[in-house]
Structure 1
Amino acid sequence: MIDWTGVFPAVTTKMRQDGSVDIDATQAGVERLVSSGVSGLVMLPMLGENASLTDAERERVLRCAVEAVAGRVPVLSGLAAITTDDAAAKARSMKSWGAEGFMAFPSLGYRTDRRETVEWYRSLAAATNLPIMIYNNPIAYGVDVDPVALEQLAGIPEIVCIKEESGDVRRVTDIFNALGDRFVVFCGVDDQILESVALGASGWVSGMTNAWPTECVKLFDLCRQGRFEEARPLYRILTPAFHLDTSVKLVQYIKMAEHVACGAPEWTRAPRLPLVGDERSSVIATLEKTVEALAGLN
């Protein structure tokens, strides 16, 4: 049984410079997260380069995470596909590899309308008996699982949670007003976590937690306890780095944050390329300033 509260980082898949998957570094990252107090893990999110991996690589990554976690926290898997049949097949495979639930994307190949979106998630729920977190990111994927769609999914017990990343923090309140406590609401964008928890979100799927897990868990806990005066200074320090989570290059930026914070590999798989030039310098400057400010706060 998953306790749907706390920080569930969207975990990066570590790569070598040649683009091959680095299982040892991935397991080291998982251990660092769990040891820092996160409440769960989301393996194979888009931040984990899900769409760039083969099925064999996805299996290795998910199994290595389950092995490293050893039952200490739940392990969810990103579930991303183009067709309904492929998504259902992936769900069954990922369950056999150790996934305890899914963070399910809309179809990656087609912008479904509301009727099609509802049917998509109904079909995924029917594929296994594992719980599902809907990943709602209309900015990136052009599909909005709004309160009207959620009302049509409310009778499906496998659909438990929504990762809310519409970009409008008011949506948290709209969901509660429309559906009460039927769905657990997770914040899905790092630079809205304080606001989202203040409005009732009980969890956080976070990218930058990969870089600063202890600080992000502390921030979340302060917010959940209503200790906003204590949370604000930490939030203000982290927010410039959190803004990097909203870029199309969030994979490169967050891996660079891990590299700056703890020496983890920065490498990604093509077509993503390493940061260069002024962009690289600017991102590193933001991250190094964050490291310095955190040291001063501590």
Structure 2
Amino acid sequence: MVPLITPYDEHGRVSEKSTASLIEYVHADVSALMPVLSSGEGWRLTDQQWSDMVAFTVAHSHGLPVIAGVQAADTPSVLHRARTAEALGADMVAATTPFGAGVGQDEMVAHYRALRGGTRLPIVVYNEEPVSRNRASLVTLLRICGLPGIAAVKESSGVPELTRALAAAGTGVPVLQGWEDKVASTPGVDGLVGPLANLEPGMCNALLADPGEPLQRIVDAVCELFGLFRDDWYLRVKRELARRGVIEDECAPPGGQEDGS
């Protein structure tokens, strides 16, 4: 699955032309489109930028499911964007926990329970730390997977032991690896959601089909080449896409909040 970057024009608006071109570039090799996640700078977009990117992705989806990312500081804010995604025609939402190092594990469960009660869309649990400043434990993830309407877990903790244990738990909820360099060390995952899919979706599919060390080393080297493990990975993906002529050179900074990663 591809966590789409968000292309801007010279005025800081989301470019529908470049969004459509990017989807055209990757759609044949991916199973879902995931706009406005971390690679799409979802945590720092204005409401207008966020809504435009979701709407443009739905409009040019080639029939693929659209899973809208929601990264916001608190449960009411996440619910607001989840309902907006529903109104815009998204098929699912992928949501982090509320922001803050002090968010407890019970609060995380209550957060996802509230999301399920507040939107009809299935929920992809996005377990990460750089943006939210916290992450769910294995026990918490198992509790969340027991809630109705949980469609998948994007497991971006970066801890292979946690990912393997969740994949082996038999919850019936698909586990998606969120780091390209962790695929070989997490056998049993059901998919991959990483920024490399914006550039080389076929390579990501090959790694999933044959998650061994030889191909993992190649993927790691390609990620290093493009700077995908750096803090500004999303800008680096956009620059490479612009170099390839997939998007216009539209890397103007968004008008939202500052980088939270």
Q: TM-score, normalised by structure 1?
A: 0.77
* Aligned position for 2:259: none
Paired with 1:27 and 1:53, the residues of 2 have a C-alpha distance of: 19
Aligned partner letter, 1:181: T
Paired with 2:42 and 2:158, the residues of 1 have a C-alpha distance of: 22
- Given that 2:14 and 2:52 are in contact with CA atoms closer than 8 Å, whether structure 1 keeps it comes out as no
Q: Which segments of 5 or more consecutive residues in structure 2 lack a partner in the other structure? A: 257-261
> Could you give the per-residue CA deviations for residues 62-81 of structure 1, whole angstroms, max 9, x where no partner exists?
1111111142x111000122
Q: How does 1:97-246 map to 2 (within 5 A)?
A: 97-108=88-99, 111-177=102-168, 179-196=169-186, 199-223=187-211, 228=212, 232-233=214-215, 235-243=216-224, 244-246=227-229
Normalized per residue, the structure richer in helix is 1
Aligned partner letter, 2:253: R
- Which protein has the larger Cα radius of gyration, Structure 1 or Structure 2? 1
Q: For 1:69, what is the secondary structure of its paired residue?
A: coil
Q: What is the CA distance between 1:109 and its match in structure 2?
A: 5.4
Aligned partner letter, 2:153: I
Aligned-residue CA RMSD (Å) = 2.3
- Given that 1:189 and 1:245 are in contact with CA atoms closer than 8 Å, whether structure 2 keeps it comes out as no
Q: How does 1:7-18 map to 2 (within 5 A)?
A: 8-18=1-11
> Could you give the per-residue CA deviations for residues 221-260 of structure 1, whole angstroms, max 9, x where no partner exists?
344xxxx4xx824x33331332433322122222223234
* Aligned position for 1:284: none
Identity of aligned residues (%): 24
The aligned length equals 253
Paired with 1:266 and 1:192, the residues of 2 have a C-alpha distance of: 30
Runs of at least 4 residues of structure 1 off by over 6 A? none
Q: What is the CA distance between 1:32 and its match in structure 2?
A: 1.0
Paired with 2:158 and 2:182, the residues of 1 have a C-alpha distance of: 8
* Aligned position for 1:87: 78
Q: Which segments of 5 or more consecutive residues in structure 1 lack a partner in the other structure? A: 1-7, 273-298
Paired with 1:147 and 1:50, the residues of 2 have a C-alpha distance of: 25
> Could you give the per-residue CA deviations for residues 19-53 of structure 1, whole angstroms, max 9, x where no partner exists?
33211011110111103x20111011121122332
Greater relative contact order structure (CA < 8 Å, 6+ sep) = 2
Distance 1:263 1:129, change over 3 A: closer
Q: What is the CA distance between 1:130 and its match in structure 2?
A: 1.6
Paired with 2:250 and 2:218, the residues of 1 have a C-alpha distance of: 22
Distance 1:155 1:238, change over 3 A: closer
* Aligned position for 2:55: 63
